[in-house]
Structures are given as C-alpha cells and as structure tokens.
Structure 1
Amino acid sequence: MYTDYIGVTSKKMKNVVERELVRRFAESIGDLHPIYLDEEIGSKSRYGKNIAPVTFPRIFRSGEIEGLKLPNKGLIHGEQIYHYNRPLFVGEEVYCYSKLEDYFEKEGSTGKMGFLKMKRYGEDSSGNVIFTEESIIIINETVRRSLNV
C-alpha cells in the first residue's frame, strides 16, 4: 500500500519564521539562548539577525502527500534528524514540502512492523534548500492489520 507512494511529494507550503513563535518555541523547549530572542545580540552575531532553534521546523506545515492515508493513532515516532545548509532566520519565509522516501517492513516479537521513511524540505524564496528533516514513523502489527497493509 505505502510502496506506491515512494518518491511522491506534497505541494509546497509557505511558512514564516515569526519572532513570537520562535520565542514561544524556545520557551517550550527550555532553550532561551539570546541568539533566538534578543534582537541586539542577533544583530551583532555572525548572521546579523536572530535565528530559530534547530528543531523549530517541526511546527512548519509541509502539505500532505495526496492519497497517502495514515492512521490518526497507533503510530510510533522512531527517529528524527535535521540537516542544515544554514540557520533559519527570524522573519524569513520558508517553503516546505514532504516526500515519502521509503517503506519497508521488519518482523518483530509481536509481528510485522512497517517503517515509513519521510523527508521534509525547507527552501528559501529562491528555491535554495535551507534544511532537510528525516523521520521514521513505525506502524505496529495491530495498526498494520487494521489498514490491511
């Protein structure tokens, strides 16, 4: 079922790295580094502006892959890795989309588990990749059976 979607991408979604969202996100993760929050510190940094925390893209919308249906519950977050070409700057627009990179199954002690390997991309307005986010979503045997995968 999911193998049919390998290589399929979602449409790009526009996101803005808003100062207030960066502040709230930094507070929520307990990292109040001044490079995220203090405009004077940001202007004196090597970037000349404030940046967002590394995991900030988690809140970005990246569209849905048309036709790819995932269950609302029973999924397990397996892994998440970010790769950056440069930091996210406060105030910039970022265009994000998702791609299903792979689907495979492994036999576990409670039955077969499905593994969805997703990749999200964040680009600037010129189409240059700022970051990628790789994640693994695990579908346990019970959920797999209910989906007839």
Structure 2
Amino acid sequence: MFTEAIGKKSNKVKNIVERGAVRKFAESIGDMHPIYLDEETGEKSRYKRNIAPPTFPRVFDYGVIEDLKLPNKGLIHGEQNYHYERPLLVGEEIYCYTVVKDYYEKQGKNGSMGFLVLENGGEDLAGNIIFTSSSAVIITEAVRKGLKV
C-alpha cells in the first residue's frame, strides 16, 4: 500500500528550540529538571545553556512528504526511539526532515495491519546531525479499507 513511498524524504523545515516551548513541554511531561528550566543551572552546565527534554523533538515540524497521504484519524503510534549526538540547546535553530524507511504488513486478529516506519532527523545550521528518531505508524484494517475507496 505504501511501498512506493519508501525512500521519499520531506524538505527540511526550520524549527527553534524556544525557551517557552521547552518550559511548557517539561510541565506537560512532569519533568521540571532545572537543566531544562533554570537559566543559572544551564549556564553552569557543561553545555553553558539550558537543554530540552529528550522527547522534545516530538513537537517539531518535519515537513511534508509529497504523495504520502495518511488519514487524519485512526492511526496508531506504535513506537518511538531517539538517538542523540548531543542535546538540543535552548535557543538554537534545528532543521528537521522525515524519511520513509519501510512499509510492511502483518496479519492481526482484526485483519491486516500496515506498519509505516519513519525516520526523523534534526540538523544544526552546518548540517551536522543532532538527533534521529524512528517511529512506526500502525494502519489498521478499517483505516486501510477507507484509504482504498
């Protein structure tokens, strides 16, 4: 169903690790660690500024992959893994993108399910990778039938 999308990549989109967004995110996940929030703690750290929580990239814009049409509802977020070269620094610009890595199907008790594997990336201004994340989007039989119509 989505095998033709394997290898397709979105354009890079500029995102900013904004202090207010980091604060709201930390509050929402219940992790008020001073390295995320307190400027003095950030200045005294080895990074010389505050950093964002590890799952913060979830809020970034990763662009659009042309011709990849997923429904707005009915998808299941299967998993998410992050790999960091270094932390995200509060105030920095990050250029983010998505690549379709794989698509496969498995038989479940309610019919066939599709698994769309996506890789997100975030780079600094010089093009150096800061983080990558991989995720699996599960497309249920009911959603798959709706897409074929």
The TM-score, its normalising length taken from structure 2, stands at 0.98
Q: Matched residue of 2:47: which SS?
A: coil
Q: Give aligned pairs, total.
A: 149
CA distance in 1, matches of 2:72, 2:17: 27
1:72-91 to 2 correspondence within 5 Å? Answer: 72-91=72-91
How far did 1:48 drift?
A: 1.0
Counterpart of 1:133 in structure 2 is 133
CA distance in 1, matches of 2:25, 2:141: 34
After TM superposition, the runs of 4+ consecutive aligned structure 1 residues lying more than 6 A away are none
CA distance in 2, matches of 1:42, 1:16: 17
Per-residue CA shift, 1:124-148, capped at 9, x if unaligned? Answer: 0000000011000000111111112
CA distance in 2, matches of 1:132, 1:115: 19
The TM-score, its normalising length taken from structure 1, stands at 0.98
Query: What residue identity is the alignment partner of 1:11?
Result: N
Per-residue CA shift, 1:65-117, capped at 9, x if unaligned? Answer: 01100011110110001100000000000000000000000011111000000
Counterpart of 2:49 in structure 1 is 49
1:79-118 to 2 correspondence within 5 Å? Answer: 79-118=79-118
Counterpart of 1:12 in structure 2 is 12
How far did 1:46 drift?
A: 1.1
Identity of aligned pairs, percent? 65
CA distance in 1, matches of 2:32, 2:91: 18
The two structures, once aligned, show a CA RMSD in angstroms of: 1.0
Query: What residue identity is the alignment partner of 1:100?
Result: V
Q: Which runs of 5+ in 2 are unaligned?
A: none
Q: Which runs of 5+ in 1 are unaligned?
A: none
Comparing 86-95 with 137-146, greater Cα deviation is found at 137-146
